C-alpha cells in the first residue's frame, strides 16, 4: 500500500473512531498500518497530532457530557503511565515495540469480546480500580495508541450511561493526548518536518467525524466492529511474526 493511501486510511480511521463508529477498536488499526512505512516511534509521533486535531471535533459533540469525578480519579495515574510509556517507546528496539503492539492489539480484541459481560458483572467499585485503569491507559496510549480498553472496561463496570461513558472517554483522551506532547517532544518522537508533510490529510478528519456521527444511525455498529476486529487479529499476528 502506498504511503499516501495509508495516510488517507489513517485519517479515516481516526475520524471514525472519534465520531463514535468503531470506537477505540477502529483507532487501534492506525499504528499497524503506519509501521509498514516507518518505525513504531515515528508512527506514534505522526498519530498524536492527528488525534489531537480530531479530539477538537469529538469534544464539540460530547461537550459537558462527561462525569468529572471519573476524570479526576483517572488522570493523575494516567500521567504516571504516560511517563513510563514514553520512556519505553523511546528506548526499546523497534522489534520489541512491534511485539508489544501486537500484544496490545490482541488485548483490544479480547476486551471487545468480553465487554458485554462486564456490564452484567456484580461489581463493587474501589478507587484503586480507577488508579489502575488510568495508569494502564496512560502506558497503552503512549506506547501503542492502545489506551482505550482499560478506561472503557472501568467505565463499563461503573454502569455509566452511554452518553456519559462516551463523553468521559472523550475528555479523558483529550487530556491524555495533550499530556503526551512534552514527553514526545523531549524524546524526539515528534518530527515537525514529517508532520508538515501530512498536513494535507487534516481536512479529511472533521468530514469523517461528521460522517461517523451520521453513519451510526444507518450502519450496523456491531457488524462494523466485527470487521475491524478481524483486521486487528490479522495485524496482531503479523506484528507478532506468526505466519
* Distance (Å, whole) CA 37 – CA 58: 28
Distance of CA 14 to the CA centre of its chain: 9
For the record, the C-alpha cell of 151 comes out as: 478506561
User: Is the pLDDT reported for residue 11 higher than 50?
Assistant: yes
Cβ count within 10 A of residue 135: 21
* Distance (Å, whole) CA 15 – CA 58: 9
Report pLDDT digits (tens) over 129-179.
Answer: 889 999 999 998 998 888 888 888 888 888 778 788 888 988 999 999 999
Mean pLDDT of 47-53: 92
Distance of CA 45 to the CA centre of its chain: 14
Contact 216, 77 (CB under 8 A): no
Contact 32, 101 (CB under 8 A): yes
Confidence grade of residue 243 (pLDDT, cut at 50, 70, 90): very low
Report pLDDT digits (tens) over 181-222.
Answer: 999 999 999 888 888 888 899 999 999 888 887 777 777 767
Contact 198, 4 (CB under 8 A): no
User: Is the pLDDT reported for residue 114 higher than 90?
Assistant: no
Contact 46, 6 (CB under 8 A): no
For the record, the C-alpha cell of 86 comes out as: 514514553
User: Is the pLDDT reported for residue 22 higher than 70?
Assistant: no
Amino acid at each position: 500500500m502506498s504511503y499516501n493511501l495509508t495516510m488517507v486510511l489513517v485519517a479515516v480511521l481516526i475520524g471514525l473512531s472519534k465520531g463514535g463508529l468503531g470506537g477505540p477498536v477502529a483507532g487501534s488499526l492506525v499504528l499497524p498500518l503506519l509501521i509498514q512505512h516507518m518505525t513504531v516511534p515515528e508512527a506514534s509521533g505522526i498519530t498524536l497530532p492527528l488525534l489531537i486535531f480530531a479530539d477538537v471535533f469529538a469534544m464539540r459533540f460530547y461537550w459537558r457530557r462527561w462525569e468529572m469525578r471519573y476524570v479526576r480519579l483517572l488522570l493523575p495515574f494516567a500521567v504516571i503511565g504516560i511517563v513510563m510509556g514514553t520512556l519505553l517507546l523511546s528506548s526499546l528496539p523497534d522489534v520489541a515495540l512491534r511485539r508489544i503492539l501486537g500484544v496490545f492489539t490482541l488485548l483490544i480484541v479480547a476486551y471487545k469480546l468480553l465487554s458485554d459481560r462486564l456490564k452484567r458483572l456484580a461489581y463493587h467499585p474501589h478507587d484503586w480500580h480507577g488508579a489502575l485503569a488510568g495508569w494502564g491507559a496512560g502506558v497503552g496510549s503512549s506506547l501503542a495508541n492502545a489506551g482505550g480498553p482499560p478506561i472503557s472496561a472501568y467505565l463499563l463496570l461503573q454502569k455509566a450511561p452511554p452518553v456519559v461513558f462516551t463523553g468521559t472517554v472523550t475528555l479523558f483522551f483529550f487530556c491524555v493526548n495533550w499530556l503526551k506532547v512534552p514527553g514526545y517532544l523531549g524524546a524526539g518522537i515528534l518530527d515537525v518536518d514529517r508532520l508538515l508533510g501530512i498536513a494535507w490529510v487534516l481536512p479529511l478528519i472533521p468530514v469523517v467525524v461528521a460522517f461517523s456521527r451520521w453513519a451510526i444511525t444507518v450502519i450496523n455498529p456491531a457488524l462494523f466492529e466485527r470487521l475491524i476486529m478481524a483486521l486487528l487479529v490479522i495485524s496482531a499476528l503479523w506484528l507478532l511474526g506468526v505466519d
